[in-house]
Structure 1
Amino acid sequence: MVQQYTIAGRQVGSHYLAIATLTALFGGIYASTGGASKKTTATPPINASSPDEADFITKFLESADADQKKKDSH
């Protein structure tokens, strides 16, 4: 037999209380962690002496990132 508790005027089995407790515990943990968050990468400032040099550095970094992503996907 199952232990019965009276909650709000109703008889509730102990196994239902255990299920509710575990659901609330793990549901609260899941809700508080919120899953994976989007990672932001901070890049250092580009100290270029001219706008052409800054464009070259930016395009080089973009092509290097694209090559790295292509290499990682294979």
Structure 2
Amino acid sequence: MVQQYTIAGRQIGSHYLAMATLTVLFGGIYASTGGAAKKTLATPPINASSSDEADFISKFLETADADQKKKEAH
């Protein structure tokens, strides 16, 4: 025999309540942790001796990233 509980005027078996509890528990955990957050890549610091050199390096990296994205799009 199964223990019966009266909920909202209906008799519900304890095994159904246990299944519902586990479903809500694990469903909530899955929903709250589902999917990995997009990680931003940290670039190393630019150790330039002058601001012109730093500008050149940053522009070079931007163009290299743009070229790589164009190649991946094709």
Specify the alignment match of 2:43 in structure 1. 43
Specify the alignment match of 1:63 in structure 2. 63
CA deviations over 1:28-69 (Å, ceiling 9, x no partner): 222331423121111111011111110110011111111112
Paired residues, what number? 73
TM-score (norm 1): 0.69
TM-score (norm 2): 0.69
Consecutive unaligned residues in structure 1, runs of 5 or more? none
Q: CA RMSD in A?
A: 2.7
Deviation at 1:6, TM superposition (A): 1.3
Consecutive unaligned residues in structure 2, runs of 5 or more? none
Q: Percent identity?
A: 79
The 3-state SS of whatever aligns with 2:28 is helix
Amino acid at match of 1:5: Q
